[in-house]
Structure 1
Amino acid sequence: MPERQTDEIRREVHTFVIRAGHFTNAEKKDYEELLPVWGIPYDKEKFSEKKLDFEEIFGNKNPVVIEIGFGMGKATAIIAENNPNINYIGIEVHKPGIGKLLGEIRERGLKNLRIIAHDAMEVLSDMIADESVSAFHIFFADPWPKKRHHKRRLVQRPRTDLLTKKLLKGGYIYFVTDWLPYAEFAMDELKLTEGLKNRFDGFAPHQEWRPETRFEQKGVDANRVISEMMFEKI
Structure 2
Amino acid sequence: MGPDTRIRSFVPQRVRLTEGQQNAWDALWPRFGADVESVDRLEIPGPTVLEIGSGNGEATALMAAAAPEVHHVAVEVYEPGLAHLLIRLRAAELENLRLLRGDAVDLLERAVPERSLEGIRIFFPDPWPKRRHHKRRLVQPAFVALAASRLRPGGWLHLATDWAHYADQMLAVCEASPALTRDPASDPWYPRPDSRPLTKFEERAVREGREIRDLRYTA
Give 4+ residue runs of structure 1 displaced > 6 Å after superposition.
Answer: none
Partner of 2:64: 80
What aligned pairs does 1:96-175 form with structure 2 within 5 A after superposition? 96-175=80-159
Partner of 2:42: 52
The answer (yes or no) to whether the contact 2:14–2:79 under 8 Å persists in 1 is no
Q: Which runs of 5+ in 2 are unaligned?
A: none
Partner of 1:219: 205
Partner of 2:8: 14
Aligned residues: 217
Q: C-alpha separation between the residues in 2 aligned to 1:101 and 1:146?
A: 30
Q: Which of 17, 30, 33 is equivalent to 1:23?
A: 17
Q: C-alpha separation between the residues in 2 aligned to 1:14 and 1:158?
A: 13
**Offset at residue 76 of structure 1 (A):** 0.4
The one-letter code matched in structure 2 to 1:18 is: P
Q: C-alpha separation between the residues in 2 aligned to 1:126 and 1:40?
A: 15
Q: Which of 25, 34, 40 is equivalent to 1:40?
A: 34
Cα-Cα RMSD: 1.6
**Offset at residue 65 of structure 1 (A):** 0.3
The answer (yes or no) to whether the contact 2:36–2:100 under 8 Å persists in 1 is yes
Normalised by the length of structure 1, the TM-score is 0.88
Partner of 1:58: none
Q: In the TM superposition, what whole-angstrom CA distance separates every residue of 1:159-217 from its partner, at most 9, and x where no partner exists?
A: 11110010001011100000011001110001112210110231101112211111111
Partner of 2:49: 65
The answer (yes or no) to whether the contact 1:43–1:127 under 8 Å persists in 2 is no
Q: Equivalent pairs: percent with the same residue?
A: 33
The answer (yes or no) to whether the contact 2:37–2:102 under 8 Å persists in 1 is no
Q: Which runs of 5+ in 1 are unaligned?
A: 1-5, 56-60
Q: Flag the 1:23–1:142 CA change in 2: closer, same or farther, 3 A.
A: same
Normalised by the length of structure 2, the TM-score is 0.93
**Offset at residue 52 of structure 1 (A):** 2.4
Q: C-alpha separation between the residues in 1 aligned to 2:158 and 2:11?
A: 22
Helix, strand or coil at the partner of 2:145: helix
